[in-house]
């Protein structure tokens, strides 16, 4: 028996690529390009927030960004605009409070159809984290190692039909 698969077109397939918006070049030509753009933006935004987190450098474990990106693409698959209609809010949880790090608009030219909330936390198993509790003055200038554990939640911005 043959298997029939029905595919819904998303707005990108209907509208096609856009040239630019306010000097921001958009080069999204499918899932691979969207994935690469998301990896680049997420890595840049998280590593640039060292001052906000009170550390010298933010260390991202290998594979964390790829794993988060794959889950973002999976969650965006059922959206009308695909991944291009999303906004990713990145937060850091230090064990006591949730701190807002950044907001990544996946495609500024598309209407926002969903929001994703990513909560990152510190890796408490590293030797530096354990030593920083003893030696407080070094904590400010040392690196912050992120944990591979994270929380990603989706919120739709439109009612279900």
Instruction: Flag whether pLDDT at 39 surpasses 60.
Output: yes
For residue 10, which of 74, 83, 80, 77 has the smallest C-alpha distance?
Answer: 80
Residues 74 and 117: their CA atoms lie apart, in Å, by 14
Amino acid 24: pLDDT: 47
Percentage, residues of the chain above pLDDT 70? 70
Helix, strand or coil for residue 49? coil
* Phi then psi dihedrals of residue 116, to 5 deg: -120, 140
Amino acid 153: pLDDT: 96
Amino acid 13: pLDDT: 56
Average pLDDT (115-142) is 73
Q: CA angle, corner 112, sides to 46 and 13, nearest 5?
A: 105
Amino acid 121: pLDDT: 92
Instruction: Give pLDDT tens digits for 129-161.
Output: 666 666 655 445 678 889 999 999 999 988 876
Instruction: Flag whether pLDDT at 114 surpasses 80.
Output: yes
For residue 86, which of 68, 67, 109 has the smallest C-alpha distance?
Answer: 109
Average pLDDT (71-90) is 90
Amino acid 102: pLDDT: 92
Amino acid 27: pLDDT: 45
Amino acid 65: pLDDT: 93
Strands 20-21 and 24-25: antiparallel
Residue 53 pLDDT class (50, 70, 90 cuts) = confident
Amino acid 25: pLDDT: 45
Mean pLDDT of the chain: 78
Average pLDDT (57-76) is 92
């Amino acid at each position: 028996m043959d298997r029939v698969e029905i595919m819904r077109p998303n707005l990108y397939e209907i509208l096609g690529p856009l040239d630019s918006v306010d000097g921001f070049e958009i080069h999204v030509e499918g899932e691979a390009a969207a994935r690469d753009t998301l990896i680049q933006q997420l890595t840049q935004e998280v590593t640039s927030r060292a001052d906000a987190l009170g550390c010298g450098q933010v260390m991202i474990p290998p594979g964390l960004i790829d794993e988060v990106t794959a889950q973002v693409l999976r969650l965006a698959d059922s959206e009308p605009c695909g991944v291009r209609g999303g906004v990713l809010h990145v937060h850091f949880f230090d064990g006591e409070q949730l701190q807002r790090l950044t907001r990544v608009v996946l495609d500024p030219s598309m209407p926002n159809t969903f929001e994703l909330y990513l909560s990152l936390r510190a890796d408490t198993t590293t030797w530096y984290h354990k030593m920083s509790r003893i030696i407080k003055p070094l904590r400010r200038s040392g690196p912050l190692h992120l944990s591979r554990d994270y929380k990603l939640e989706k919120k739709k911005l439109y009612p279900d039909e």
